[in-house]
Structure 1
């Protein structure tokens, strides 16, 4: 099915691994020109550049830490210089750690908020001059905010904040035709899960697959499908939404 995305311009943060990588590649294959970023150069970035080159030559992987305002400025300058506009922004970059709340240091609290919330804010605010009628902003959140996760109070706080930010921006910029939505993800099978010891990985897959209506974990392609829809005119009347991509987990 042709979603009418050929020639669209997109920015995806945190796009060299896992969910972000799946989104970047799906967009590129759908004909979207994509810029993505990573905090550090490495094999993941090198291999993504190679894959994107095989798809087309209008894509770029740049180094940028969204927690750093100066690096966000450089990232958006790259988008402006290469594309001149943006039709889609996907805020996927995030950090996580597992710390007992009683032991959570101010520096770690600040580090996670700086990337997951402030970084998203900086990207959106900086992208506004490049966004116009029909543009779509997709913020990646987590189903975990509905149930809470021990040792992740700081992380779930940031993901909950994205819901309020998204809804407020949808109201504020609706008259400009810019749409803002959240994808609330369940357990997605990425490299991080595959890197677990086999016994631990098997137990986790069985446990969380059993909690879903579909009987399986999600994949980056499942998330990418939702992003493609939100980027297309099929979702032209969808804004301010929290859209579950979780296999019906309970």
Structure 2
């Protein structure tokens, strides 16, 4: 794939799981990348090596994009490195499980800050660097409209992205900027180290396709929405959940 040759792509939460798959897919398609991660470690080091091995021009930025300061630091790096961004992928997110009766305010804020507020902060910081024809892709979750027991805060945070996407698409459409969301279902980001086998089997059986999602499944949808084939798609939320 070379559909993104020389495109300037920003991916938040890009060193592991879905974000890593998205980052590497763009690299293989010829993009230049700014990848955001919160902590240094093996995941960041190995990703940098993979990107270098692929010949991809890239920069890894350590920043907490749940804060305005972290988002502004990212914007400064994008401006200095590439002068702007053609694609922004808001992928930062966390999970959370708690009975509503036991759901503490701190836990509510932690999940909302990562899953919804970070998308606002990063997009707000970068919006002046997005040219006509740019694309913003948010990574949500297909439970946004179904809801999930023991996950009121998680479901609410992902539902917020649906409204954020739809409204922002209407605001930025006049500039030719598209805004969409990819909504994964249960995605096995760490095979063998994620869900207990029995639970994974039950969840896979609930899908029409009989398997859990892979990060690469989500990456394919992200690249579609970011690319020319989706030039008339904006404000959309596309489920990538195997028909669960």
Q: Which bracket does the TM-score occupy, shorter chain normalised? A: over 0.9
CA shift digits 1:211-234 (9 cap, x unpaired)? 222221111111111111112111
Of residues 213, 222, 226 in structure 2, which corresponds to 1:218? 213
CA shift digits 1:89-110 (9 cap, x unpaired)? 1111012221221111111211
Aligned ranges 1:71-110 → 2 under 5 Å: 71-110=70-109
Gaps (5+ residues) in structure 1? none
Residue in 2 aligned with 1:234? 229
Question: What SS is found at the alignment partner of 1:237?
Answer: coil
CA RMSD of aligned residues (A): 1.3
Q: Tell whether 2:120 aligns with 1:127.
A: no
Deviation at residue 57 of structure 1 after TM alignment: 4.6
CA distance in 2, matches of 1:241, 1:232: 14
Q: TM-score, normalised by structure 2?
A: 0.96
Residue in 2 aligned with 1:116? 115
Please tell me whether the aligned partners of residues 31 and 56 of structure 2 are also in contact (alpha carbons under 8 angstroms): no
Q: Tell whether 2:203 aligns with 1:205.
A: no
Of residues 219, 222, 243 in structure 1, which corresponds to 2:238? 243
> How many corresponding residue pairs?
244
Gaps (5+ residues) in structure 2? none
CA distance in 2, matches of 1:194, 1:124: 34
Deviation at residue 35 of structure 1 after TM alignment: 0.9
CA distance in 2, matches of 1:235, 1:100: 39
Deviation at residue 127 of structure 1 after TM alignment: 0.9
CA distance in 2, matches of 1:226, 1:57: 21
Deviation at residue 195 of structure 1 after TM alignment: 1.4
Spell out structure 1 runs of 4+ moving beyond 2 A. Answer: none
Deviation at residue 20 of structure 1 after TM alignment: 0.4
CA distance in 1, matches of 2:126, 2:235: 18
Question: What SS is found at the alignment partner of 1:175?
Answer: helix
Residue in 2 aligned with 1:28? 27
CA distance in 1, matches of 2:177, 2:79: 18
More deviation in 140-149 or 85-94? 140-149
CA distance in 2, matches of 1:131, 1:230: 16
